[in-house]
Amino acid sequence: MDDFTFEYLPQRGITKETFKFYDCKTKVGIEGNPISVGFHYSASKATKVRLIGEKTFYWVGTSKPGLFGLDKFAAGSHKVVTITEGELDALSLYQVLRTPVVSVQSASSAVRDCSVDYEFLNSFERIYLAFDSDAPGREATQRVAKLFDYNKVFVVKFSNRKDANEYLQHGEADELRNIWHNSKKYLPETVISSLEEFHKILTQPHKEGFPYPFPTLNKMTYGIRTGETVLIKAPEKVGKTALMHSIEHHILKGTKDNVGSIYLEEDKRRHLQSLAGLELRKPVHLPDAGVSNAEICAALDNLLVTDDRLHIYSHFGSDDPDILLDTIRFLVTARSCRYIILDHITMAVSGLAGDDERRALEYLATRLEMMVKELDFALLMVSHVNDFGQTRGSHYLTKIADITIDAKRDTVHEDERERRTIHLSIPYNRFCSHTGPAGDIVFDDSTYVLTEETAPWLPTSPSVVPSITASTGTNITV
């Protein structure tokens, strides 16, 4: 005598009648305890067995690609068909809709299963995709939708629950029905069109820009924002690295955010000495500066406060663009760096020449800009320019930047102070369109500190230009 029976049992909000319609029986132990549920696949004549109370599945018989529930509905027998990611979800939606519902075997096999039974699915006027609301489900939706005419594909978007069965388990059959009826035509994730999505975007909190250490630059840019690329263009020997050090020190001093620093022409010791020197306002790298190693280390500790705030890319010279891209992605995603400083992008491909250099630069710049938008970090990068003021290697760099800052210095001027002055200007400003002169930054050779000589008021309304105190690290709401 068997120690178990097979019965149509209601469970997880699904009725006995629904289980019977799909011929899904529950294996019940001799003491009346349910053990597992079997889901029959007509194409392979195999059964997928789900253990009750667990997420474990196994097959009885040899499984083949294809859809569950296919044998319960004739091709084209109704105006619509719905595809779910799991068998229980198929039962759940059929129970509330009473229209054809089938299921793929899993999110990973969704395209394979739908391709095998393409003619059956395509025989309906509308195809509703009701996959789970998690990442695998969203990916499966995108991939399956491409199999069919987009005009006939609709997407069921679960809002409060992961899948259809969760709605039944919580007694929300009416809400599940309404969600299905309110399904929209499929749009790629790169396209939005609903008022709800527009409102969601418009009501997001304003981003706060962290100020530069130079007031005029702030008035013209509203600070440094994540999700934007700032390109600083400069000829050689202008002092671009000192400029980047000043910005980097200011970020570390005024925020608690992590910073990723990639200086391809500077060794690590000189870099750290520069940050400590800005903290002490002394050129600590010079042998006659009168600053001990202990004082330098203490200054750096005071600036960084803790481990794992500043991440220095340990490399010197040119590199494979993909290695650099992978490193930046790691710094942002794994080390939570909100600011990436790249000095300078031209050096990253300096081992190449001609069209190879141009293509590599354009590839690197394009991927960087996409990554900035995807991961929402601020990228400040430097590019050398040629004798005509154009970015070296490729003119494309200026096209992808959100803000472009030009830095110039007359290193042979007869006036000594002029030789120590970096003139900033902004030729392009996507955020607020302020362009033109952006301040004169003077280098103090006794402290090695850059400060703005003047801070002229911009010709804009005081209600538009924010009040900024750069030395306090005040954020600028934009």
CATH of the domain at 31: 3.40.1360.10
Of 95, 234, 69, residue with least CA distance to 173: 95
- Please tell me the predicted confidence (pLDDT) of residue 1: 44
The two tokens of residue 451 are 């400060």
Same domain, 220 and 166: no
Same domain, 317 and 182: no
| Amino acid residing at 97 | L
What long-range pairs does 164-167 form, CB within 8 A, spacing at least 24?
164/84, 164/89, 164/92, 164/93, 164/130, 165/12, 165/13, 165/14, 165/86, 165/88, 165/89, 165/91, 165/92, 167/13, 167/92
Same domain, 215 and 181: no
H/E segment holding residue 229: strand 229-234
For the chain, the first-to-last Cα distance in angstroms comes to 76
Residue 200 lies inside a defined structural domain of this protein = no
Same domain, 451 and 411: yes
Q: Pick from 195, 221, 246: which residue ends a domain?
A: 195
Same domain, 309 and 371: yes
Torsion (CA) 144, 148, 154, 159 in degrees, nearest 10:
10
From first to last of its 478 residues, the chain has per-residue pLDDT tens of: 468 899 999 999 999 999 999 999 999 988 888 999 999 998 888 999 999 988 788 999 988 999 999 999 999 999 999 999 999 999 999 999 999 999 999 999 999 999 999 999 999 999 999 999 998 999 999 999 999 998 999 999 998 899 999 999 999 999 999 999 999 888 876 667 677 778 887 888 877 889 999 999 999 999 999 999 999 998 888 888 999 999 999 999 999 999 999 998 888 999 999 999 999 999 999 999 899 999 999 999 999 999 999 999 866 555 578 888 889 999 999 999 999 999 878 777 665 555 677 788 888 888 999 999 999 999 999 988 877 667 766 676 788 899 999 999 988 898 989 999 999 999 999 999 999 999 999 999 889 999 998 654 444 433 333 433 333 344 554 4
- Please tell me the predicted confidence (pLDDT) of residue 189: 67
Q: How far apart are CA 296 and CA 115, in angstroms?
A: 65
Residue 233 lies inside a defined structural domain of this protein = yes
Of 21, 57, 61, residue with least CA distance to 44: 61
Residue 404 lies inside a defined structural domain of this protein = yes
Q: Which residues are CB-contacts of 10 (< 8 A; sequence separation ≥ 6)?
A: 16, 19
Helices (H), 163-289: 164-169, 173-181, 195-202, 215-221, 240-254, 268-280
On whether the CB atoms of residues 111 and 142 are closer than 8 A, the answer is no
Same domain, 188 and 230: no
Q: Calculate the CA 89 to chain-centre distance.
A: 31
pTM score of the predicted model: 0.64
Find the CATH number of the domain harbouring 425: 3.40.50.300
Q: Which residues are CB-contacts of 369 (< 8 A; sequence separation ≥ 6)?
A: 229, 400, 401
Q: How far apart are CA 277 and CA 282, in angstroms?
A: 5
The SS3 call for residue 100 is coil
Same domain, 191 and 214: no
Q: Pick from 171, 195, 219: which residue ends a domain?
A: 195
Q: Give residue 356's domain range.
A: 208-477
- Please tell me the predicted confidence (pLDDT) of residue 305: 94
Residue 203 lies inside a defined structural domain of this protein = no
Residue 201 lies inside a defined structural domain of this protein = no
- Please tell me the predicted confidence (pLDDT) of residue 315: 66
Residue 202 lies inside a defined structural domain of this protein = no
Neighbours of 195 (CB within 10 A): 7
Q: Which residues pair with 443 in a beta bridge?
A: 450
Residue 440 lies inside a defined structural domain of this protein = yes
Task: Tell me whether strands 337-343 and 378-384 are parallel, antiparallel or unpaired.
Answer: parallel
Same domain, 315 and 370: yes
Q: Pick from 195, 223, 253: which residue ends a domain?
A: 195
On whether the CB atoms of residues 103 and 131 are closer than 8 A, the answer is no
Of 221, 168, 226, 240, residue with least CA distance to 392: 240
Q: Which residues pair with 29 in a beta bridge?
A: 4
- Please tell me the predicted confidence (pLDDT) of residue 198: 81
Same domain, 175 and 295: no
Residue with tokens 């393409």: 118
Same domain, 161 and 53: yes
Same domain, 436 and 331: yes
Q: How far apart are CA 178 and CA 2, in angstroms?
A: 44
Q: How far apart are CA 65 and CA 59, in angstroms?
A: 13
Q: How far apart are CA 442 and CA 139, in angstroms?
A: 53
- Please tell me the predicted confidence (pLDDT) of residue 390: 73
Same domain, 218 and 190: no
Residue 20 lies inside a defined structural domain of this protein = yes
On whether the CB atoms of residues 231 and 401 are closer than 8 A, the answer is yes
- Please tell me the predicted confidence (pLDDT) of residue 375: 93
- State how many domains the chain has: 2
Q: Which residues are CB-contacts of 265 (< 8 A; sequence separation ≥ 6)?
A: 241, 316, 343, 344, 347
